[in-house]
Amino acid sequence: MQISWKVLLLFYFVFIEIGVVWSQEKDYAPEPDWYKTYDVKFYSINLEANDTTTYIKGNTLVNLLIKQASDSVIFNFNSDLHIDSVYINGQISNTYKFIEDLFIIKNPKNFVSEEVLNVQVFYKGLVQTNSFFSSLSSEKDNNWNIPVTWTLSEPFGAKQWFPCKQQLNDKADSCWVSIIVPKGRMAGSVGVLTDTVSVSGSKVQFNWRTKFPISYYLISFTVSDYKDYSFYVKIPEHKDSMRVQNFVYNRTGYLESNKSAIDKTSDFLKLFSKLFGVYPFFEEKYGHCVAPIGGGMEHQTMTTLANFSYSLVSHELAHQWFGDYITCSSWQDIWINEGFASYCEYLALEFLNSKSEANFWMANAQGRALRESMGSVFIPASEAEDEYRIFSSNLSYKKGAAIIHMLRYQINNDSLFFSSIREYLSQFKFKTASGEDFCNLMEKKTNLDLTDFFNQWYYGKGYPQFDISWKSSGDSLMLNIEQFPSAKNSSFFKTPFDIKIAGNNMDTIIRLNQDSNPQKFIIKHSGQISSLEFDPNNWLLKKVMSLSRLPELPSIDDYFVFKPNPFTDNVSISFKTESAKDEKIKILSLTGKIVYEGIAKRKKEIVINTSDISPGVYLLVISHGDNKYIRKLIKVDKY
């Protein structure tokens, strides 16, 4: 039989199409734990991009090691992009398909355990994302009239611009990023810029290489009209200097107006290297790419940020230790990344500026955390894919920082605190770690039982609210302390606390420990006491509902009782005996304002509606003849 070349050509294209369509129509549901079938070893991302669009074109090669026999390799990838071709170990493959955002490449025979594969995917298209956590954005920075294109892959956006395995506990051993851009533009990325290559006369390829393990979401690129402002920093106790490479806007006045802030990076690098160990990627670089990102993102060795504010630069640099060097093994534990980076803002102020500025920062952070009366830094599995919950500023960032501050106070030894953190970094370097890993190591290193601390602050919700009263008698200070947790069903917070005693001799700070609730303390103290201050150095995340000096009160034990306390909408007063006499009843704020006033016949029970009273601490005053019987009331929100 003789067949014309046109028929053969048609047959060829139909065959290819049938192969692809067959793969797309075949009933195939990947296993939920498909990601366990292989380990990523290496990414090589090779793309064309520019500064005015999110259109990309190129390929990504993934080197991987098969761990479990499987008939397919699966990546997280963007199904809206056009696939030009797929190769496995250099051989073209036409049996692939998308199931939502899973890109499945089938194999006629099973991939076997310990087999090494090079999977290369050629693709192109416009990356379209509309959320704040946009994986690839292109916008003009109107302040400087300059367009910029940049990636932001944390937590789930990497798949939008390159095929990858979005699993935190599988870091690639190394990564290459090559970006072709129009001539006159520059592309920043991770690792070392090995070279730039002219392409077709009108384009330039920037080749970046990192030899260090890297998590999928820390791979990045930015494109703009940049210029390179680099300088070198001598890290104490290290013989060589390291490069700080900054891709800043190539606009008149930009570098001049930001240079002193950029140069502060040197101070932060030296401080954090002293506190936590030498900057982990010393052999490559640290740097910044400017973009209108609305904050910053700690891409490994090359942060993308909007400006060079003190807190932003110190925060993102700290992530190179906490997030990049060690990465949280689950988004449920993001507070370790963000809490430490936020606390490093505090440490930078404490060690490089002043204690008062650091205290102001911490007070603000605690204030933000206190807005979340039911909040926890630990994210339940049901919320671990909610980007806004993961990156809750009040919880993951501010409360996370407050917890680390309290852990420092609990350990009560800065040398031990920082050496324990250095041990944590050393033990889990270039790996992932869970909150549980962090807890266990801190216990082991400090030789302290931190079970209650982590149960309360890591897994627990809310914070303690304190009601404190005191009086002095002779040479003794009598202190009563009671807690009311802000979150429903939370047990009280076992915690040390400081009391500052002000008197005519001198001010004294003593440390006590509340391990029961309520609790009374009797403290020997000579001299007259004028006032007390609870937690004077603001170590604790807490609310003080009242701190009052007790007056000498007549006994009421045989007169009346009241409940509940704390109360929400009603207070019930029960008298020991009934009488036709009137009882004058008042509820006063601690400033003396009357919020309730009434007269009632004494009977077994009087119920006062308090729904219009705001949460807070009050005094219940019952007047009977010349006697006044006073007790403290606490109004709380309904849960």
Closest to 68 (Cα-Cα) out of 132, 111, 14: 111
CB 188 within 8 A of CB 289: yes
Mean pLDDT computed over every residue of the chain? 90
- CA 224 vs CA 148, 227, 228, 457: distances in Å: 5, 9, 12, 43
Tens of pLDDT, residue by residue over 55-101, are 999 999 999 999 999 999 999 999 999 999 999 999 999 999 999 99
pLDDT higher than 90, residue 17: no
CB 186 within 8 A of CB 49: no
Residues of the chain with CATH 1.10.390.10: 355-459
Q: Higher-confidence residue: 558 or 248?
A: 248
Phi and psi, residue 122, nearest 5°: -100, 135
Tens of pLDDT, residue by residue over 357-395, are 999 999 999 999 999 999 999 999 999 999 999 999 999
Task: Tell me the C-alpha distance between 480 and 485, whole Å.
Answer: 17
CB 213 within 8 A of CB 171: yes
Residue 618 has what pLDDT? 84
Q: Which two three-digit tokens encode residue 28?
A: 């195939």
Q: Which two three-digit tokens encode residue 449?
A: 């039982």
Tens of pLDDT, residue by residue over 131-150, are 667 899 999 999 999 999 99
Size of the chain in residues:
639
Half-sphere exposure of 340 (CA within 13 A, CB side): 26
Half-sphere exposure of 128 (CA within 13 A, CB side): 5
Residues of the chain with CATH 2.60.40.1910: 465-549
Q: Which two three-digit tokens encode residue 406?
A: 């309290």
DSSP 193-232: EEEEEEETTTEEEEEEEE-S-B-GGG--EEEESEEEEEEE
Task: Tell me the C-alpha distance between 136 and 222, whole Å.
Answer: 9
Contacts of 439 (CB under 8 A, 6+ apart): 450, 454, 458
DSSP 359-410: HHHHHHHHHHHTT-TT--SSPPGGGTT-HHHHT-IIIIIIIHHHHHHHHHHH
Strand partners of residue 86 = 93, 121
Task: Tell me the C-alpha distance between 293 and 133, whole Å.
Answer: 10
Phi and psi, residue 87, nearest 5°: -125, 140
Q: Higher-confidence residue: 503 or 310?
A: 310
Closest to 80 (Cα-Cα) out of 31, 136, 118: 136
Matching residue, tokens 């400006």: 307
Residue type at 338 in one-letter notation:
E
Residue 524 has what pLDDT? 85
Strand partners of residue 531 = 502
Q: Which two three-digit tokens encode residue 500?
A: 């500052």
Task: Tell me the C-alpha distance between 595 and 197, whole Å.
Answer: 77
CA torsion 544-548-554-560 (nearest 10°) is -20
pTM here?
0.86
Residues of the chain with CATH 2.60.40.3080: 560-635
| Predicted confidence band of residue 322 (pLDDT cuts 50, 70, 90) | very high
Residue 21 has what pLDDT? 37
Residue 578 has what pLDDT? 64
- Give the neighbor-by-neighbor strand order of the sheet with 495-503: 508-514, 495-503, 529-534
Q: Which two three-digit tokens encode residue 189?
A: 């990325």
pLDDT higher than 50, residue 16: no
Domain 355-459, CATH = 1.10.390.10
Contacts of 33 (CB under 8 A, 6+ apart): none
Percentage, residues of the chain above pLDDT 70 = 90
| For range 456-460, the mean pLDDT | 94
Q: Out of 2.60.40.3080, 3.30.450.370, 3.40.50.1370, 3.40.630.30, which CATH number does the structure's domain 560-635 have? A: 2.60.40.3080
Arch. (CATH architecture) of 465-549: Sandwich (2.60)
Phi and psi, residue 578, nearest 5°: -85, 150
Q: Higher-confidence residue: 118 or 525?
A: 118
Task: Tell me the C-alpha distance between 362 and 373, whole Å.
Answer: 18
Residue 22 has what pLDDT? 37
CB 37 within 8 A of CB 70: yes
